[in-house]
């Protein structure tokens, strides 16, 4: 087995990874339009349930065959929304990973359920 690059071996890559394209011109134009609208209209353009979020959620739900989608800001909130949507009886048991960070377990407790590793 050859030596690792850190130990003097040949590096696998001769050039750095290419930069990730964060957005194209269409996305940049949409973001700029939202900023322009925020400057002229003020409060209500950014945040939850704005027109862009509503359109995204509707399109996303349609792409999955219908139903409902709600955009959230984190995996913790996604777990909480999913648990609440199930309308579980209080103090039910919800299986969680045995090794996790609090973000995967706390929504279970906040939803009045018992995390079970």
pLDDT at 71: 92
pLDDT of residue 43: 66
What is the pLDDT, as a whole number, of residue 91? Answer: 97
User: Which residue, among 73, 75, 67, has the nearest Cα to 53 in the 3D structure?
Assistant: 73
Nearest-angstrom CA–CA distance, 41 and 39: 6
Q: What is the DSSP string of the chain?
A: -PPPGGGT---S-SSPPPPP----HHHHHHHHHHHHHHHHH-TTSSSTT-HHHHHHHHHHHHHTTSS-----SSHHHHHHHHHHHTTPPTT-EEE--SS--HHHHHHHHHTT-EEE-
pLDDT tens-digit readout, 34-84 = 888 888 887 666 666 778 888 999 999 999 999 989 999 899 999 999 999
pTM value surpassing 0.85: no
Mean local confidence (pLDDT), 86-102 = 93
Residue 85 Cα distances to 74, 79, 102, angstroms: 16, 10, 21
Residue scoring higher pLDDT (106 or 35): 106
Helix (H, G, I), strand (E, B) or coil at 35: helix
């Amino acid at each position: 087995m050859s030596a690792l690059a850190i130990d003097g071996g040949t590096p696998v890559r001769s050039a750095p990874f290419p930069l990730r394209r964060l957005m194209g011109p269409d996305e940049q134009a949409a973001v700029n339009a939202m900023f322009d609208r925020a400057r002229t209209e003020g409060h209500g353009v950014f945040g939850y349930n704005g027109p862009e979020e509503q359109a995204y959620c509707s399109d996303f739900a349609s792409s999955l065959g219908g139903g409902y989608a709600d955009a959230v800001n984190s995996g913790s909130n996604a777990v909480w929304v999913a648990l609440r949507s199930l309308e579980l009886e209080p103090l039910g048991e919800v299986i969680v990973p045995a090794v996790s960070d609090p973000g995967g377990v706390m929504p279970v407790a906040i939803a009045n359920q018992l995390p079970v590793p």
